[in-house]
Amino acid sequence: MRKLRILFVCLLMAGVATLPATAQKYEGLARTPQMGWNTWNKFADKIDEQLIRSTADALVESGLRDAGYIYLNMDDCWHSKRDSLGFITCDPERFPSGIKALADYVHSKGLKLGIYSDAGRQTCGGRPGSFGHEYQDALQYARWGIDYLKYDWCESYDINAKGAYGLMSEALREAGRPILFSMCEWGSNRPWEWAKDVAHSWRTTGDIWAKFDGTWDHGNGFVQNGVLQILDMNEPLRQYAGPGHWNDPDMLEVGNGLTPSEDRAHFTMWCMMAAPLILGNDIVNMSPEVKAVLMNRDVIAIDQDTLGIQGMRVERGDVEVWLKPLAGSDWAFCLLNRTLEPLDVKLDWRRWSTDDSTVSGRKIDFESHVYELRDLWAKNPQKVVGTTARTKKVATVQVGGHDVVLYRLTLQSASKK
């Protein structure tokens, strides 16, 4: 192992490392997109042991754990210095009980604990990165009982991305504990083309911020993107995602200052894209309205569908039309209003017949088949609210500004005209 590690470090410095010939990640994890919570979007570097414990309690008491949010992930700035042998340690003031005791507490709640590091020399927050210590860090995480690693890309100059992420993937395997590996290199090196056997998910974009439409240029080459901008970057990559390997358009900003309709639309579109659902709000103090969005199990089911196919945009415009094939013969159908004004949409189903055989092997033909509609944001999402059958009068639905209409389509009849 030591010789392999030295060879990889040399190759990384030379910028010529290539991926191992065989898969490195633990198989069997993230068969559906991972669900959980992360500290960064709300708390940034201001994290400590009490925050993690109180959030673990809240995930259970709110019902979020039972809805599927099982990963509780510490982001940047939990670290202290390395010890005399080079092993990473935690900040003793922020985490006086240590990470192992914290992991034990999180596990006692039926949750899993995630941690953060960086492929570079320092993390984005200036703490020690894993460069040159990949095997030590992976072993330390395994000893602590860590279940999830988010691995960033700051201070990564003169480092080859394929080699760096392949090395950490190998190190996690060698450490002997199943740890979900979440790559966070911002899509800079097109990871969707090469990381399927390395990681369980990979970021496809730069960082999100709590804005539905717009960008925030910090002036130093660092730009954060709103929900719609990230949606547009992630949408073309659907053919690369699937069970155990997901496109990651970054964490959710639901509950962090968007309007109620924007929260609903943001959450819906991440579910339509089969994205990891990693919450980023204050779980302890969230409002009932935010909780209702995050706890909509019928919408979560669209994200967690076992077919594992990312949704597709089939019509552009002020109101977009999206379809997502689901296990069995069902489909998810979504109307997304990108404008601030309510808009009426005629449900002319025939023009949305779609051949998705190249990705999912499925077709949806509204000429030959009739589907029942269930409105997943209605008070009773199990109630049939209509069908796709052709009638003399085309039905119209209104989509609110920065909002969605989301239907689950269930086959009613396969008889041909």
Distance of alpha carbon 279 from alpha carbon 251, whole angstroms: 6
Distance of alpha carbon 3 from alpha carbon 165, whole angstroms: 18
Spot the catalytic one: 76, 137, 152, 263. 152
* Catalytic (active site) residue 207: yes
Distance of alpha carbon 116 from alpha carbon 149, whole angstroms: 6
State how far the alpha carbon of 60 is from the alpha carbons of 65, 67, 110, 271, 278, in Å: 5, 10, 8, 22, 16
State how far the alpha carbon of 251 is from the alpha carbons of 201, 236, 272, 324, 395, in Å: 12, 19, 15, 21, 36
Cβ-based neighbours of 197, under 8 Å, separated by 6 or more: 19, 22, 23, 24, 25
DSSP letter string over 65-113? Answer: HHHT--EEE--SS-EEEE-TTS-EEE-TTT-TT-HHHHHHHHHHTT-EE
Cβ(182)–Cβ(152) under 8 Å? no
How many separate helices (H) and strands (E) can be counted in the chain?
Answer: 11, 22
Distance of alpha carbon 272 from alpha carbon 406, whole angstroms: 10
Which H/E stretch holds residue 410?
strand 404-413
Tell the residue number behind the tokens 């949408």, with chain if given: 235
Spot the catalytic one: 75, 76, 147, 207. 207
Beta pairing partners, 312: 323
Burial (CB count within 10 angstroms: exposed 0-12, middle 13-18, buried 19+), residue 316: exposed
Question: In 3D, which of 110, 115, 26, 114 has the Cα closest to residue 71?
Answer: 114
Cβ(373)–Cβ(407) under 8 Å? yes
How many Cβ atoms sit within 10 Å of the Cβ of residue 314? 16
Any idea which residues carry the catalytic annotation?
Answer: 152, 207
